[in-house]
Amino acid sequence: MNAVKIVFNQVFRKNLKSGGWWSIVLSPLVLGLIMFGIGYYMSSTTATPQVGVVASAPIQQGLMKQSSDSVKYRTYASQKSAEKALADKKIDGVLTVNAQTPYTSQYLSRQGGQEVSKNTLTANLSQLNTAAVAGELHLTSAQLTKLLTPPSVTTRNVSISDSGKMTTKGGAGESAKYLLAMAISVMFYGFLLSYGSMTAQEIATEKGSRIEEMILSAISARAQFFGKILGIMALMVVQIVLYAIIAGGVLIVGRNNATIRGILSQVDWSMLDATFIIMTLGFFVIGILSYTVLSALLGSLVASQEQASQATMPVVMLSLVGYMAALMSANGSTPLVNILSYIPFLSPLIMPSRLAVGQVSSPEALLALGINLAFLAIFTWLSAKLYETNVLAYSDNSIWHALRQSWTIARSERGRAKTVPAHEK
């Protein structure tokens, strides 16, 4: 246990002080800050389109009341004065309305001015036209209100079990769940690209520099294997905690910012239940551990630091399949996605997304989580055995050839151990 702790401290402290690890941590934050800054700058510098209205007084007053962030109306007494303001670039367009119902209008837009949606102009004039027609028909205010009240449509999102039982699902909650699942999938994929490469590079560097023999003369290969994995996982935890602290600080400081409030208001976060959050985090932890163990195993197969990219390629390709399948799950369930969502390495990316959109039930997700947990235990034990064989083996052949050779050596050693008499062990 002391050997595992020594390796853990060495991996954790060395990377914590390195510029490479801090670049992994800070690059997503810098990118997010740049994107937010660009969006904020564009929204703050984009002026509200100004539209001059040439019409009768009631129409002008009605449109003035409908001014909003998308369009602001200004009144002009004549077409000539409005066109002069357009030429002087004081307004972006001129809307001329004929007061005879149904209203007809003409809109002149200035080239290089702010764009105004035709649908916005039509919607604003439609309200005034309806009120004018109601006045001509001598409708009361109650009748006009009834006329303008849109029909209500109640929607239900349901799931149908194999027995035909229909269960209502919360639509707003599904969007929040899917958003969270996608955010975790993106973080998952980003972590794999960064830490999978770090894990393989860590082992390949030691093998390439030929200091592995000295290290293993003091500690066992298995202690080194688990110490490195725990050290890498500790770095991930530190990064997640830093992100959580920063996110909390942003929410506290920017809770009154219109842009941040607009983003958060798009989703009903109260619909996120504890079961979904716990399962999603469970898939995240088990998935990250599985890929870290795989990276360590593949890293032990290469002979030099230059071959480390060969070790990370299978990790990248495997995780990319799961990531793409997770994105596809939003468009509907298919037999292939159903199968992939139970396969280890792919399941941690796919199953949270399917659970979010209601394609699977909690018991089904729990079954997949159990399969992944059992696989992780078996795969970690097997990888530790192969690591003991690989870590001092050097081969210039492909990584798959090295893996087959390692498996053959491990089996032969196991068979030889069984044939050794008990008194000689």
**pLDDT greater than 90 at residue 366:** yes
Please give the average per-residue pLDDT across 87-108, as a whole number. 89
**pLDDT greater than 90 at residue 372:** yes
Residue 132 to residues 26, 37, 55, 135, Cα–Cα distance (Å): 60, 46, 14, 5
> Cα separation of 286 and 292, whole Å?
10
Res 33: pLDDT: 85
Which tokens hold the place of 271?
Answer: 């619909």
Res 412: pLDDT: 64
What dihedral angle (degrees, nearest 10) is formed by the CA atoms of 347, 352, 355, 360?
A: 0
Q: Which residue in 157, 185, 193, 192 sits closest to 353, CA to CA?
A: 185
Calculate the average pLDDT of the chain.
80
What CATH number was assigned to the domain covering residues 50-147?
3.40.190
Question: Within 13 Å of residue 270, how many CA atoms lie on the same side as its CB?
Answer: 1
- 143, 134 in Cβ contact below 8 A? yes
Indicate the pLDDT class of residue 94, thresholds 50, 70 and 90.
very high
Which tokens hold the place of 278?
Answer: 């716990």
Please give the average per-residue pLDDT across 242-248, as a whole number. 88
| Range list of H helices, 219-303 | 221-253, 258-264, 274-299
Please give the average per-residue pLDDT across 378-394, as a whole number. 80
Indicate the pLDDT class of residue 367, thresholds 50, 70 and 90.
very high
- Ranking 10-24, 267-281, 387-401 by mean pLDDT, the lowest is 387-401
**pLDDT greater than 50 at residue 425:** no
Q: Please report, for the chain, the start and end positions of each structural domain, with discontinuous segments joined by +.
A: 50-147, 170-424
Res 402: pLDDT: 62
Backbone angles phi, psi at 78, to 5 degrees: -145, 165
- 32, 250 in Cβ contact below 8 A? no
Indicate the pLDDT class of residue 252, thresholds 50, 70 and 90.
confident
Which of 76-90, 195-209, 269-283, 348-362 shows the highest mean pLDDT? Answer: 76-90
Angle (CA) 317 323 327, round 5°: 145
**pLDDT greater than 70 at residue 424:** no
